[in-house]
């Protein structure tokens, strides 16, 4: 049987971060609630010239180092922040990443589970086309209202996976346990910039879907047994949910907390604690965190994966870590990317959040914020335009840009 799985795994976060102790002070909340109650330290903030396309392209560019792009047969973007109701954001990625014309490009949506749905489709694609590769890009900006209880659980970033029939990082068995139930725990109507969330209900649904998808995975689809997992990795809207999710999994699987202690929670949350929620990318940033910051050699071991998307759908699956996986990761580069971020004030974060591209077709050129590999450089005639480093990438008929603020 062909081994299919993750051959490349890279993530990208914007170069700016807000310290949650600063946010706590500004909002009159004890900082212990954000730092210990939610387990978060800082949250990544996207400047005005970064969006899901530019962040996704930056993550993918890194994941594609050393990859023959002509072999990529599909690029899928999963996001909750689509920039167009019709055109897939993956079209922009296709162009920015210079992918071949024979590569299909589209977008998928189901809140934070969309990344896993895209991964599942990529596995099927590579299974049918073992000589080709699939690129899965997950990117989001988690945005809630100022002063709301969810504000401290925001974040921004992207993750990219290269799926191959010769994976260097992890093999994925295409067995997925699923739990679906229509509920209103978190949603964002098309006319709103910020999500609406019934926070405690969303946690209740997260746990119910964990129990339901685990039951489907373990009892109906014959998945890996709980005692065979070396680690458990889960969707992380905030770091402390990892402990709670592990405890719930052990309970529904009938394992005592002592016997399940090795499943861990901390190493999968190390990056998320500094980045915040990245919605569709969150589970895969957690996987990078587990594989790059964990002390134990996981080669040949099984990792249980739980993906949750509000609305709601839970998916449970497993991956087996490949021998020599660390050589295909980028632990040092990622540590540097997180360390080198610039700390911004609450006032700066609030000002950036207020900035919008015009909706009347005017031409706008955005200033540079940092030196990201890709950026949103403005818009003209209702079209967004992106550039890669110094090379401008614009629609073919883009008018000359006026410099406006
Ligand atoms: N020091 C330490 N811990 C403190 C504290 C303090 N001063 N004050 C509160 N806490 C703890 C609480 O005990 C609680 O921990 P617990 O759940 O282990 O008991 C935690 O901090 C959060 O406090 P809580 O009162 O529940 O916060 P909240 O109701 O204001 O909001 C969320 C918390 C998660 C509901 C909110 O941030 C939210 O809506 N987030 C977005 C939705 C989300 O992430 N959903 C998850 C599923 S996708």
Contact 278, 255 (CB under 8 A): no
Number of Cβ within a 10 Å radius of residue 391:
6
The finding on whether 306 has its CB within 6 A of some atom of ligand 1 is no
Round to the nearest angstrom and report the end-to-end CA distance of the chain: 57
- Cα–ligand 1 centroid distance for 287 (angstroms): 23
376 C-beta closer than 6 A to ligand 1: no
Q: Is the CB of 39 under 6 A from ligand 1?
A: no
Closest CA to 376 of 29, 27, 43, 139: 139
Three-state SS for 59?
helix
Cβ–ligand 1 distance for 343 under 6 Å, the answer no
Our answer to whether residue 235 is catalytic in this structure is yes
User: Annotated catalytic, 80?
Assistant: yes
- Is there a contact between 286 and 304 (Cβ–Cβ < 8 Å)? no
Q: Give the pair of three-digit tokens for residue 53.
A: 């396309």
Q: For 191-230, what is each residue's pLDDT tens digit? A: 999 999 999 999 999 999 999 999 999 999 999 999 999 9
Ligand 1 centre from 34 Cα, in Å? Answer: 8
Beta strands, E only, 192-326: 196-197, 229-234, 302-309, 313-321
At 243-297, the pLDDT tens digits run 999 999 999 999 998 888 888 778 999 999 999 999 999 999 999 999 999 989 9
Contacts for 353 with CB less than 8 Å, ≥ 6 apart: 143, 146
Looking at the CA of residue 29, tell me the nearest atom of ligand 1. Answer: 7
| Known catalytic membership, residue 112 | yes
Q: What is the mean pLDDT of the chain?
A: 94
pLDDT per position as a tens digit, 126-175:
999 999 999 999 999 999 999 999 999 999 999 999 999 999 999 998 89
Residue 92 near residue 82, CB atoms below 8 Å:
no
Q: Give the pLDDT score at 403.
A: 33
147 lines ligand 1 (CB under 6 A): no
- Let me know: does 313 contact 186? Beta carbons within 8 Å: no
Within 10 angstroms of residue 79's Cβ, the number of other Cβ atoms is 29
Output the pTM of the full model.
Answer: 0.95
> Does residue 239 line the site of ligand 1, with CB under 6 A?
no
Cα(37) to ligand 1 centroid in Å equals 6
Q: Is 365 in the pocket of ligand 1 (CB under 6 A)?
A: no
Instruction: Write the CB contacts of 87 (distance below 8 Å, at least 6 apart in sequence).
Output: none
Pocket test for ligand 1, best of 149, 242, 283 (most atoms within 8 A of CB): 149
Minimum CA distance residue for ligand 1 atom 13: 37
pLDDT for residue 260: 87
């Amino acid at each position: 049987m062909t081994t299919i799985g993750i051959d490349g795994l890279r993530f990208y976060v914007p170069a700016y971060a807000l310290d949650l102790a600063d946010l706590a002070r500004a909002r009159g909340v004890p900082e212990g609630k954000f730092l210990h109650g939610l387990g978060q330290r800082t949250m990544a903030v996207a400047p005005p010239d970064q969006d899901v396309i530019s962040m996704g392209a930056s993550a993918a560019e890194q994941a594609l180092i050393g990859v023959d792009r002509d072999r990529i047969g599909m690029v899928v973007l999963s996001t909750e922040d689509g920039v167009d109701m019709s055109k897939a954001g993956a079209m922009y990625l296709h162009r920015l990443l210079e992918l071949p014309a024979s590569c299909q490009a589209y977008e998928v949506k189901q809140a934070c589970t969309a990344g896993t749905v895209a991964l599942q489709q990529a596995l099927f694609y590579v299974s049918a086309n073992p000589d080709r590769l699939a690129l899965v890009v997950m990117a989001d900006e988690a945005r809630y209202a100022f002063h709301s209880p969810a504000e401290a659980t925001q974040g921004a970033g992207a993750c990219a996976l290269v799926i191959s029939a010769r994976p260097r990082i992890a093999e994925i068995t295409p067995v997925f346990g699923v739990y679906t139930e229509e509920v209103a725990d978190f949603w964002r109507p098309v006319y709103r910039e910020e999500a609406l969330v019934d926070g405690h209900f969303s946690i209740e649904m997260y746990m119910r879907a964990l129990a339901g998808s685990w039951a489907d995975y373990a009892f109906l689809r014959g998945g890996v047994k709980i005692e065979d997992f070396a680690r458990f990795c889960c969707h992380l809207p905030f770091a402390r949910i990892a402990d709670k999710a592990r405890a719930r999994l052990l309970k529904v699987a009938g394992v005592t907390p002592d016997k399940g202690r090795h499943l861990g929670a901390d190493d999968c949350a190390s990056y998320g604690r500094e980045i915040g929620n990245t919605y569709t990318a969150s589970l895969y940033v957690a996987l990078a965190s587990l594989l790059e910051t964990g002390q134990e050699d996981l080669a040949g071991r099984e990792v249980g994966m739980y993906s949750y998307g509000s609305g709601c759908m839970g998916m449970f699956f497993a991956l087996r870590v490949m021998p020599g996986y660390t050589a295909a990761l980028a632990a040092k580069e990622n540590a540097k990317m997180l360390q080198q971020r610039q700390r911004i004030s609450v006032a700066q974060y609030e000002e950036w959040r207020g900035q919008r591209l015009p909706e009347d077709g005017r031409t706008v050129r955005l200033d540079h914020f940092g030196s990201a590999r890709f950026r949103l450089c403005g818009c003209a005639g209702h079209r967004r335009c992106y550039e890669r480093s110094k090379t401008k990438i614009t629609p073919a008929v883009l008018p000359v840009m006026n410099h406006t603020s």
